[in-house]
Protein backbone atom coordinates (compact mmCIF):
# COMPACT_ATOMS: atom_id res chain seq x y z
CA UNK A 1 0.00 0.00 0.00
CA UNK A 2 1.26 3.50 -0.84
CA UNK A 3 2.59 5.78 1.86
CA UNK A 4 0.32 8.50 3.20
CA UNK A 5 -2.81 6.41 3.47
CA UNK A 6 -5.23 7.17 6.31
CA UNK A 7 -5.89 4.66 9.10
CA UNK A 8 -8.35 4.76 12.01
CA UNK A 9 -7.55 2.48 14.98
CA UNK A 10 -9.91 1.94 17.93
CA UNK A 11 -8.72 0.88 21.37
CA UNK A 12 -5.41 2.62 20.78
CA UNK A 13 -4.53 3.19 24.42
CA UNK A 14 -2.77 -0.13 25.01
CA UNK A 15 -1.86 -3.55 23.71
CA UNK A 16 -2.61 -4.50 20.12
CA UNK A 17 -4.17 -1.14 19.30
CA UNK A 18 -1.19 0.82 20.57
CA UNK A 19 1.33 -1.41 18.79
CA UNK A 20 -0.70 -1.16 15.57
CA UNK A 21 -0.67 2.64 15.76
CA UNK A 22 3.08 2.58 16.36
CA UNK A 23 3.89 0.26 13.45
CA UNK A 24 1.54 1.85 10.92
CA UNK A 25 2.82 5.33 11.74
CA UNK A 26 6.39 4.09 11.25
CA UNK A 27 5.34 2.69 7.87
CA UNK A 28 4.18 6.14 6.76
CA UNK A 29 0.44 5.95 7.35
CA UNK A 30 -1.48 8.91 8.76
CA UNK A 31 -3.05 7.35 11.85
CA UNK A 32 -6.06 8.46 13.87
CA UNK A 33 -5.63 6.78 17.26
CA UNK A 34 -9.03 6.58 18.95
CA UNK A 35 -9.17 6.17 22.72
CA UNK A 36 -11.04 7.44 25.78
CA UNK A 37 -7.80 9.00 27.07
CA UNK A 38 -6.05 10.67 24.10
CA UNK A 39 -3.72 12.75 26.30
CA UNK A 40 -1.78 9.57 27.16
CA UNK A 41 -0.94 9.12 23.48
CA UNK A 42 0.30 12.63 22.75
CA UNK A 43 3.91 12.71 21.62
CA UNK A 44 4.74 9.04 22.17
CA UNK A 45 4.74 7.88 18.53
CA UNK A 46 7.09 8.50 15.63
CA UNK A 47 5.22 9.56 12.53
CA UNK A 48 1.90 11.24 11.82
CA UNK A 49 -0.44 10.21 14.64
CA UNK A 50 -3.52 12.13 15.75
CA UNK A 51 -4.98 11.00 19.09
CA UNK A 52 -8.79 11.19 18.99
CA UNK A 53 -11.21 11.01 21.89
CA UNK A 54 -13.91 8.43 21.33
CA UNK A 55 -16.31 6.57 23.61
CA UNK A 56 -17.30 3.63 21.46
CA UNK A 57 -20.55 3.16 23.43
CA UNK A 58 -21.78 6.67 22.60
CA UNK A 59 -23.08 7.16 19.03
CA UNK A 60 -22.54 10.94 19.22
CA UNK A 61 -18.95 10.48 20.41
CA UNK A 62 -18.26 8.09 17.53
CA UNK A 63 -19.74 10.54 15.05
CA UNK A 64 -17.66 13.41 16.46
CA UNK A 65 -14.49 11.31 16.26
CA UNK A 66 -14.86 11.27 12.49
CA UNK A 67 -15.29 15.04 12.13
CA UNK A 68 -12.64 16.39 9.78
CA UNK A 69 -11.70 12.99 8.36
CA UNK A 70 -12.39 13.32 4.66
CA UNK A 71 -10.78 10.11 3.47
CA UNK A 72 -10.22 6.74 5.12
CA UNK A 73 -8.28 3.83 3.70
CA UNK A 74 -8.05 1.44 6.64
CA UNK A 75 -10.11 0.76 9.76
CA UNK A 76 -8.74 -1.40 12.58
CA UNK A 77 -11.53 -2.39 14.99
CA UNK A 78 -9.58 -3.27 18.11
CA UNK A 79 -11.53 -1.87 21.09
CA UNK A 80 -13.04 -4.43 23.43
CA UNK A 81 -13.07 -6.08 26.84
CA UNK A 82 -13.99 -9.42 28.39
CA UNK A 83 -16.66 -10.19 30.97
CA UNK A 84 -15.95 -13.18 33.22
CA UNK A 85 -19.24 -14.52 34.56
CA UNK A 86 -21.51 -17.51 34.53
CA UNK A 87 -24.73 -17.07 32.57
CA UNK A 88 -26.74 -17.66 35.73
CA UNK A 89 -25.13 -14.68 37.46
CA UNK A 90 -25.43 -12.19 34.60
CA UNK A 91 -27.52 -9.07 35.00
CA UNK A 92 -29.09 -7.08 32.17
CA UNK A 93 -26.52 -4.29 32.32
CA UNK A 94 -23.57 -6.66 32.11
CA UNK A 95 -25.08 -8.41 29.12
CA UNK A 96 -25.81 -5.17 27.30
CA UNK A 97 -22.47 -3.53 28.15
CA UNK A 98 -20.48 -6.48 26.77
CA UNK A 99 -22.31 -6.32 23.46
CA UNK A 100 -22.39 -2.53 23.42
CA UNK A 101 -18.60 -2.33 23.33
CA UNK A 102 -17.54 -5.45 21.45
CA UNK A 103 -20.33 -5.59 18.85
CA UNK A 104 -22.47 -2.44 18.72
CA UNK A 105 -19.41 -0.22 19.17
CA UNK A 106 -17.63 -2.01 16.36
CA UNK A 107 -20.69 -1.55 14.14
CA UNK A 108 -20.95 2.17 14.99
CA UNK A 109 -17.36 2.80 13.93
CA UNK A 110 -17.62 0.54 10.89
CA UNK A 111 -20.74 2.33 9.70
CA UNK A 112 -18.97 5.70 9.57
CA UNK A 113 -15.88 4.15 7.98
CA UNK A 114 -17.80 2.44 5.20
CA UNK A 115 -19.34 5.73 4.07
CA UNK A 116 -15.86 7.22 3.60
CA UNK A 117 -14.41 4.14 1.91
CA UNK A 118 -17.33 3.71 -0.43
CA UNK A 119 -16.78 7.22 -1.81
CA UNK A 120 -13.24 6.18 -2.75
CA UNK A 121 -14.37 2.69 -3.84
CA UNK A 122 -11.49 1.29 -1.87
CA UNK A 123 -10.65 0.29 1.69
CA UNK A 124 -9.62 -2.33 4.22
CA UNK A 125 -11.43 -3.21 7.44
CA UNK A 126 -9.60 -5.38 9.97
CA UNK A 127 -11.65 -6.69 12.88
CA UNK A 128 -9.66 -7.87 15.88
CA UNK A 129 -11.70 -10.87 16.92
CA UNK A 130 -10.44 -13.81 19.00
CA UNK A 131 -9.91 -17.52 18.71
CA UNK A 132 -12.81 -17.53 21.18
CA UNK A 133 -14.95 -16.36 18.27
CA UNK A 134 -14.82 -19.97 17.10
CA UNK A 135 -14.39 -21.80 20.41
CA UNK A 136 -16.51 -21.68 23.56
CA UNK A 137 -15.13 -21.59 27.10
CA UNK A 138 -17.01 -21.50 30.42
CA UNK A 139 -17.11 -18.21 32.34
CA UNK A 140 -16.47 -16.34 29.07
CA UNK A 141 -19.86 -16.98 27.46
CA UNK A 142 -20.69 -13.33 26.82
CA UNK A 143 -17.22 -12.54 25.49
CA UNK A 144 -17.42 -15.66 23.29
CA UNK A 145 -20.82 -14.55 22.00
CA UNK A 146 -19.55 -11.11 21.03
CA UNK A 147 -16.57 -12.55 19.17
CA UNK A 148 -18.78 -15.08 17.38
CA UNK A 149 -20.83 -12.04 16.35
CA UNK A 150 -17.72 -10.26 15.06
CA UNK A 151 -16.92 -13.29 12.92
CA UNK A 152 -20.45 -13.21 11.50
CA UNK A 153 -20.18 -9.48 10.80
CA UNK A 154 -16.88 -10.07 9.02
CA UNK A 155 -18.32 -12.80 6.82
CA UNK A 156 -21.40 -10.80 5.86
CA UNK A 157 -19.54 -7.56 5.17
CA UNK A 158 -17.17 -9.33 2.81
CA UNK A 159 -20.17 -9.91 0.54
CA UNK A 160 -21.84 -6.57 1.23
CA UNK A 161 -18.80 -4.42 0.44
CA UNK A 162 -17.10 -6.41 -2.32
CA UNK A 163 -18.64 -4.32 -5.12
CA UNK A 164 -16.98 -1.22 -3.62
CA UNK A 165 -13.54 -2.86 -3.48
CA UNK A 166 -13.58 -2.81 0.33
CA UNK A 167 -11.85 -5.81 1.86
CA UNK A 168 -12.93 -7.11 5.28
CA UNK A 169 -10.78 -9.42 7.41
CA UNK A 170 -10.62 -10.74 10.95
CA UNK A 171 -7.58 -11.48 13.10
CA UNK A 172 -8.22 -14.19 15.70
CA UNK A 173 -5.61 -13.83 18.46
CA UNK A 174 -5.08 -16.38 21.17
CA UNK A 175 -3.82 -15.16 24.54
CA UNK A 176 -1.48 -12.17 24.31
CA UNK A 177 0.59 -10.34 26.90
CA UNK A 178 -1.29 -7.05 26.83
CA UNK A 179 -3.24 -5.10 29.45
CA UNK A 180 -6.25 -7.31 28.71
CA UNK A 181 -6.08 -9.46 31.86
CA UNK A 182 -4.96 -6.57 34.04
CA UNK A 183 -7.34 -3.88 32.79
CA UNK A 184 -9.83 -5.30 30.28
CA UNK A 185 -11.32 -8.23 32.18
CA UNK A 186 -14.45 -7.47 34.20
CA UNK A 187 -15.52 -10.05 36.78
CA UNK A 188 -18.96 -10.79 38.20
CA UNK A 189 -18.88 -10.63 42.01
CA UNK A 190 -21.45 -13.42 42.45
CA UNK A 191 -19.53 -15.75 40.16
CA UNK A 192 -16.32 -15.14 42.11
CA UNK A 193 -17.92 -15.52 45.53
CA UNK A 194 -16.62 -18.39 47.66
CA UNK A 195 -20.25 -19.43 48.11
CA UNK A 196 -20.90 -19.69 44.39
CA UNK A 197 -21.97 -23.16 43.16
CA UNK A 198 -19.36 -22.58 40.43
CA UNK A 199 -16.55 -21.92 42.93
CA UNK A 200 -14.50 -24.96 41.94
CA UNK A 201 -14.62 -24.12 38.24
CA UNK A 202 -13.72 -20.48 38.93
CA UNK A 203 -10.81 -21.35 41.22
CA UNK A 204 -9.49 -23.86 38.70
CA UNK A 205 -10.05 -22.09 35.38
CA UNK A 206 -9.85 -18.34 36.00
CA UNK A 207 -6.23 -18.24 37.32
CA UNK A 208 -5.13 -20.50 34.47
CA UNK A 209 -6.66 -18.22 31.84
CA UNK A 210 -5.15 -15.10 33.42
CA UNK A 211 -1.73 -16.75 33.55
CA UNK A 212 -1.95 -17.77 29.90
CA UNK A 213 -2.86 -14.21 28.94
CA UNK A 214 -0.05 -12.66 30.97
CA UNK A 215 2.45 -15.14 29.53
CA UNK A 216 1.07 -14.89 26.02
CA UNK A 217 2.50 -13.66 22.75
CA UNK A 218 3.73 -10.13 22.08
CA UNK A 219 1.13 -7.67 20.75
CA UNK A 220 3.60 -6.66 18.04
CA UNK A 221 2.77 -9.95 16.31
CA UNK A 222 -0.80 -8.77 15.73
CA UNK A 223 0.36 -5.34 14.54
CA UNK A 224 2.60 -7.03 11.97
CA UNK A 225 -0.31 -9.17 10.77
CA UNK A 226 -2.49 -6.09 10.34
CA UNK A 227 0.20 -4.48 8.20
CA UNK A 228 0.44 -7.64 6.07
CA UNK A 229 -3.33 -7.67 5.56
CA UNK A 230 -3.29 -4.05 4.42
CA UNK A 231 -0.44 -4.67 1.98
CA UNK A 232 -1.67 -7.96 0.49
CA UNK A 233 -4.83 -7.68 -1.59
CA UNK A 234 -5.10 -11.47 -1.75
CA UNK A 235 -4.80 -12.03 2.01
CA UNK A 236 -7.22 -14.67 3.40
CA UNK A 237 -10.47 -13.63 5.06
CA UNK A 238 -9.17 -14.47 8.55
CA UNK A 239 -5.93 -15.35 10.23
CA UNK A 240 -4.94 -16.70 13.64
CA UNK A 241 -2.30 -15.14 15.87
CA UNK A 242 -0.52 -16.62 18.85
CA UNK A 243 0.09 -20.09 20.20
CA UNK A 244 -3.38 -20.89 21.55
CA UNK A 245 -5.16 -19.83 18.38
CA UNK A 246 -2.78 -21.81 16.20
CA UNK A 247 -3.38 -24.84 18.42
CA UNK A 248 -7.15 -24.79 18.81
CA UNK A 249 -8.55 -23.35 15.55
CA UNK A 250 -7.14 -26.10 13.27
CA UNK A 251 -8.20 -28.71 15.85
CA UNK A 252 -11.72 -27.24 15.84
CA UNK A 253 -11.92 -27.72 12.09
CA UNK A 254 -10.61 -31.27 12.12
CA UNK A 255 -12.58 -32.84 14.97
CA UNK A 256 -16.24 -33.46 15.58
CA UNK A 257 -17.97 -31.22 18.12
CA UNK A 258 -17.88 -33.98 20.70
CA UNK A 259 -14.21 -34.86 20.18
CA UNK A 260 -13.19 -31.24 20.28
CA UNK A 261 -15.14 -30.67 23.48
CA UNK A 262 -13.33 -33.61 25.08
CA UNK A 263 -9.98 -32.11 24.12
CA UNK A 264 -10.88 -28.75 25.64
CA UNK A 265 -12.14 -30.42 28.83
CA UNK A 266 -8.88 -32.33 29.16
CA UNK A 267 -6.72 -29.30 28.44
CA UNK A 268 -8.45 -27.06 30.97
CA UNK A 269 -9.36 -29.80 33.45
CA UNK A 270 -13.09 -29.08 33.21
Total residues found in the chain within this entry:
270
Provide CB contacts within 8 A for 268, sequence distance 6+: 137, 205, 208
Q: Which 3 state secondary structure label does DSSP give 119?
A: helix
Our CA angle for 246, 251, 252, nearest 5°, is 105
Catalytic residue among 143, 148, 198, 227: 143
Is residue 67 annotated as a catalytic residue, yes or no?
no
| Cβ-proximal residues to 55 (8 Å cutoff; 6+ apart), any chain | 36, 61, 62
**Neighbouring residues of 60: CB distance < 8 A, sequence distance ≥ 6:** none
For 82, the enclosing helix (H) or strand (E) is strand 82-84
Catalytic residues: 143
Amino acid sequence: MKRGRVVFVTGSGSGMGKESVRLLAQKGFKVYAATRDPEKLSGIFEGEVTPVYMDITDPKSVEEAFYGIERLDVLVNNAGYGLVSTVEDLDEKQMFDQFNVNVFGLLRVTKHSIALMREERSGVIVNISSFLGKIGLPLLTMYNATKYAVEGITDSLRYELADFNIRVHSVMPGFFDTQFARANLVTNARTFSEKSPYAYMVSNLAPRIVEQINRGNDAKEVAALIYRIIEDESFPARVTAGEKARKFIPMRKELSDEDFERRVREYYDL
